[in-house]
Chain A
Amino acid sequence: MSCRYPGSSRAAVSGLDFSVYEGEYVGVAGPNGGGKSTLVKLLNRLLVACEGEVRVAGFDPAAEPHEVRRRVSVVFQNPESNIIAPSVEDDVAFGLENLGVEREEMRRRVVAALSSVGLAGYERREPHTLSGGEKQRVALAGALAMETEVLALDEPTSMLDPAGRREVLEVIRALKSRRTIVHVSHDLSDLLAADRVLLLRRGRLLADLPPSGLLADGRLLEEAGLVLPVAARLAAGLGLGVCTGPEELARAVLKRLGVQTR
């Protein structure tokens, strides 16, 4: 199954041409306002392309939105807006109700989905008692319960605190290769587990590279207006190649100095 996307839609995105294949984890990075969210909305027909073609699993969202929405689940940025029902289990079941799944099967899927995001036992909880991270995980559970092939995530962690961000990223990484994932984020450090990253700026595709390739290309990042995480910036400033964290950086320093590392 593949998700192809050559298209152009007003000025939000233009001349975008790329494909996502089954089981891939594709990151979408770029500064705010660069078209990343537009891309996601074009996938499930919240927006329609002005020019060009969008194909999700062979279907055109503009023509057959319902078929596409059975195959693509979206989790949005604002944890509040992702939750529709007054209780966790009702919310996870919402999408299943829309699909016309029968009750026994719904119950089974809700329990399984909550369990796989680490929220077993949260069924009767009310949304306003949940933390941001928990809310996003409920949204993910809802997406998983629908058993869609593609999971599209529009900045799922940008409104969360570090703990929430960790929880959500953990769940996403665990889903790698079990779903096709399109993960939009303004923060490159969220996308380190991706197979490749699409870099969008002002609606245009600047690059399509694996994360390490992107981190290594300082000129490209600058052009895109992206800021590297601290350790990576230090590494770049010291000419040590790509380092994604303090431990890696320290090891690189020691290696350069010929010191034995444990």
Chain B
Amino acid sequence: MRLELEDIWYSYPGGRAVLKGISLAVAEGEVLGIIGPTGSGKSTLARQMNLLLEPERGRVLIDGEDAGRMDRRELRRRIGLSFQFPEAALFAPTVREDVAFAPRQLGLPEEEVTERTERALAALDASHLAERSIYALSGGEKRRVAIAGVLAMEPEVLVLDEPTAGLDPASRQALISLIGDLAGEGRSVVLISHDVDEVAEVSDRVCLLDDGVVRAFGTPAEVFYANPDFAPATVRTVLHLLESFPHLGRPVRFGETLSVLGDLLEG
């Protein structure tokens, strides 16, 4: 599915404009990272994607068609939204039952529900937690189970709002790598995060939001090298070296940066 936001405007009930003409597109199978300072409208934007919030102006298009005309339940199945600290919404006695909630709500036959639950748990490396009580999980485990709960709907677009917030660095790394693997055939991932380093590691494209407007939109290299204030540590390091070594290239990910710098040091 190709998800497009066309000139989206949205204001809070109090009157303050949060989104001021946002246009962007999520291509099928890609990971789109959305970065920007707090208050830039990232979370509000996430809620526009499945029309949890309706834009004042502008449209959300799904494969070219106006999402505003679609059945909301169907929309929310196709575009799965996982909020910040999603584990706050875990409620069923066991992990399996909680993850099965969404597919069950869809009215699917039990067999299908079980299959989807298994697939979702496996994708988040949580299969071994299936029979555990939700109260017997660590923070990182709860997080993965909660995300699996949304993934079990098998949405075509998975929107994750700050999926690694509050986790320790090792868990963050593990989760981000799992997230990167979630995108692929028939599914794209929108990753909203204030951690630019992790966004840099898994995103195919990046959108920089600032004060309700799209400041930059393109490949990670394009966006980060043009906006050093919002760049990951890898890019910032290379930027410091570009003066002395203009042909260094524009690596973004850890691996490629290590490689580029290693080559540089070897002469």
A positions within 8 Å CB-CB of B: 31-33, 131, 158-159, 161-164, 186-188, 225-227, 229-231, 233-234, 237-238, 245-247, 249-251, 253-254, 256-257, 259
Contact = CB atoms under 8 A, between A and B. Distances in A.
Given A161-B38, A227-B173, A259-B244, A238 B232 contact: no
B29 interface: no
A246 B258 contact: no
A162 to B, nearest CB: 5
A256 B265 contact: yes
A131 B139 CA distance: 22
A32 B171 contact: yes
Given A158-B168, A162-B195, A230-B197, 14 more contacts: A32-B138, A32-B171, A161-B165, A186-B168, A233-B254, A237-B262, A238-B262, A245-B233, A250-B237, A253-B261, A253-B265, A254-B244, A256-B265, A257-B265
A227 B254 contact: no
A230 B224 CA distance: 16
B234 A234 contact: yes
Q: Which 8 interchain pairs have the tightest Cβ spacing?
A: A250-B240, A186-B168, A246-B236, A230-B233, A227-B169, A246-B237, A32-B168, A231-B233
B265 A238 contact: yes
B241 interface: yes
13 contacts: A32-B168, A162-B195, A186-B168, A225-B170, A226-B169, A227-B173, A230-B232, A234-B233, A234-B261, A237-B262, A249-B237, A250-B237, A256-B265
Contact of A163 (B38, B138, B139, B240): B38
Interface in B114-167: 138-140, 165-166
Interface of B: 37-38, 138-140, 165-166, 168-173, 194-195, 197, 232-234, 236-237, 239-241, 244, 254, 257-258, 261-262, 264-265
Nearest to A229: B233
Given A32-B139, A259-B244, A131 B173 contact: no
Contacts of B261: 234, 238, 253
Nearest to B195: A162
B170 A227 contact: yes
For the complex, would chain B's binding face be called helix, strand, loop or mixed by DSSP majority? Answer: helix
Contacts of A227: 169-170, 172-173
A141 to B, nearest CB: 21
A163 B194 CA distance: 10
Nearest to B257: A234
Contacts of B171: 32
Nearest to B233: A230
Contacts of A159: 165-166
B237 A234 contact: yes
Contacts of B244: 254, 259
A117 to B, nearest CB: 19
Contacts of A237: 258, 262
A256 B244 CA distance: 13
Given A186-B168, A234-B254, A253-B261, A163 B237 contact: no
A186 B194 contact: no
Nearest to A245: B233
A19 B265 CA distance: 43
A259 B265 CA distance: 12
